[in-house]
Structure 1
Amino acid sequence: MIYPVVCELAADGVPVAVTCRVLEVSTWGYYEWTSRPASDLAWEQAHLMQAIREVHAASYGTYGHRRVHAELVLGQGVRVSHGRVERLMRHCGLQGVHRRRLRGCTRRDQAATPSTDLVERNFTPAGPDRLYVADVTQHRTSEGWLYLAVVLDCFSRRVVGWSMAEHIRSELVVDALQMAIWNRRPAPGTVHHSDHGSTYTATDTTTRCTQLGIRQSMGRVGSPS
């Protein structure tokens, strides 16, 4: 039945005569169809399509048929199959946003030689300021990517240094380490454990660690463990 399509387009402001001419159906037949009492199935379909539109709109147009179906079934208690939701969304021209899988922000410099792993997964130091673990994370904002470098004292489980920037150059992690030194004043020989990322193997980082009396230690690429 093509008349429900004419009805939906009319609700969106498209003249009935234009739609009927394009779809090659009778205008008289459409108005005769609208004068009939609506069947229970037609009412159910109309309510379901409206519910789908509302869920999709509430997600700011990001939900695809799987998440719309989940919201209807789990969130609103609607009994409907996944296939029917998919068909109705296609019929209404609704689709979700497909996001690309994000890559991690850790990149290894193949020319750099990483430091020896001094920790070997033993993250239980005997006292504070003896073992620091460092990492960098990336966060999407409305103005672009923001990178956060953090230094954690393994004994107290407290963040002792951090730095944020719109780039992921070596000064990002150097600034976080410098804050940790200013805050804690650790004794020479404190271990700074990180992954093999290029920000930690960079000359600026290794030089600053040497100047501060910090011993660098490195685990796997992408993970300081």
Structure 2
Amino acid sequence: AGHHDGGVRRAEAPEEGERRAEAGQRDPQSRSVFLRGRARPATHTLVAFIDEHKGRFGGVEPICRVLTDHDCKIAPSTYYAHHKRLTAPSARTVRDSELKILIQEAYEANYRVYGARKIWRLLNRQDVAVARCTVERLMRELGIAGAVRGKKVITTIPDVSAQRAPDLVDRDFVAPAPNRCWVADFTHVTTFAGVVYVAFVVDTFSRRIVCWSAATSKETRLVLDALEMALWQRDRDQRPYKKAS
């Protein structure tokens, strides 16, 4: 490269270009990527850098001084403490490892449905003193969680304005013989596929389920199907009966 002086182009001496290069006036892309960042690198990154170059530059202390001068402050004690933590785990790390084994065992022994609250109570009943927040943290690290209940299912919505059905048995559910008194009701069962509604008819004499029906919706037909099937099955006996619902 050169420049003009009084209209005459003068070639630049090779030595001058070399001196400028030695002074650091090079392409920024050629500088170390490690030292060009604005934020201080993480401690483990600095430690890895020192491990890589300490054999070439006379040990840990000289590299720590150079890094500190370049706004990457790290003390030799920090370097050695980092290595000590890797080789000798802290008391908390050891304790966490022991608790993780107990938490995993409690989780597996209870069909993988226990959450942090139940496992915390179980461990304390077993004289394992541990905080609930610790159990929650370790369960997150283990990647396990308790079963979550779904939304509450309401099977009966009373109508206060409707007329109530008469009590035909006067709350007396003791029958002297079979097929004298039946009671009917329906409930819900939670399955992996969803909620299933089940209606059933019970003989109060033997507490036997005379008949039942199931459906995925709680409609009137669900209860009527169970009652009609019970009537069909017991119609052969030709015995009088009363029903209460």
Is the contact between residue 179 and residue 239 of structure 2 (CA under 8 Å) also seen in structure 1?
A: no
Distance in 1 (CA, whole Å) between partners of 2:159 and 2:173 is 26
Is the contact between residue 151 and residue 162 of structure 1 (CA under 8 Å) also seen in structure 2?
A: yes
Give the match for residue 90 of structure 1.
137
Cα shift at 1:103: 3.6
Greater Cα shift, 183-192 or 63-72: 183-192
Cα shift at 1:141: 1.4
Give the match for residue 84 of structure 2.
32
Cα shift at 1:70: 3.4
Give the match for residue 128 of structure 2.
79
AA partner of residue 32 (structure 1):
K
Is the contact between residue 55 and residue 68 of structure 1 (CA under 8 Å) also seen in structure 2?
A: yes
Where does the alignment leave 5 or more consecutive residues of structure 2 unmatched? Answer: 1-38, 48-78
Distance in 1 (CA, whole Å) between partners of 2:195 and 2:85 is 54
Give the match for residue 171 of structure 2.
121
Match of 1:108 among 137, 158, 169: 158
Is the contact between residue 52 and residue 89 of structure 1 (CA under 8 Å) also seen in structure 2?
A: no
Is the contact between residue 182 and residue 243 of structure 2 (CA under 8 Å) also seen in structure 1?
A: yes
Greater Cα shift, 52-61 or 163-172: 52-61
Give the match for residue 48 of structure 1.
99
Cα shift at 1:180: 1.1
AA partner of residue 177 (structure 1):
L
Is the contact between residue 103 and residue 139 of structure 2 (CA under 8 Å) also seen in structure 1?
A: no
Is the contact between residue 133 and residue 151 of structure 1 (CA under 8 Å) also seen in structure 2?
A: yes
Are residues 40 and 123 of structure 1, via their aligned partners in 2, closer, same or farther at CA, if it must alter by over 3 Å?
Answer: same
Match of 1:68 among 94, 107, 119: 119
1:192 matches 2:243: yes
Match of 1:182 among 213, 218, 232: 232
Distance in 2 (CA, whole Å) between partners of 1:44 and 1:57 is 20
> Residue 226 of structure 2 aligns to a residue in which SS?
helix
> Residue 93 of structure 1 aligns to a residue in which SS?
helix
1:170 matches 2:229: no
Distance in 1 (CA, whole Å) between partners of 2:41 and 2:147 is 30
Are residues 31 and 164 of structure 1, via their aligned partners in 2, closer, same or farther at CA, if it must alter by over 3 Å?
Answer: same
Cα shift at 1:128: 2.0
TM-score with structure 2 setting the length: 0.56
Cα shift at 1:58: 6.7
TM-score with structure 1 setting the length: 0.60
Are residues 25 and 54 of structure 1, via their aligned partners in 2, closer, same or farther at CA, if it must alter by over 3 Å?
Answer: farther
Is the contact between residue 147 and residue 168 of structure 1 (CA under 8 Å) also seen in structure 2?
A: yes
Distance in 1 (CA, whole Å) between partners of 2:203 and 2:138 is 56
Identity among equivalent pairs (%): 31
Cα shift at 1:167: 1.4
* Equivalences, count: 169
Tell me how large the CA RMSD over aligned residues is.
3.3
Cα shift at 1:105: 0.9
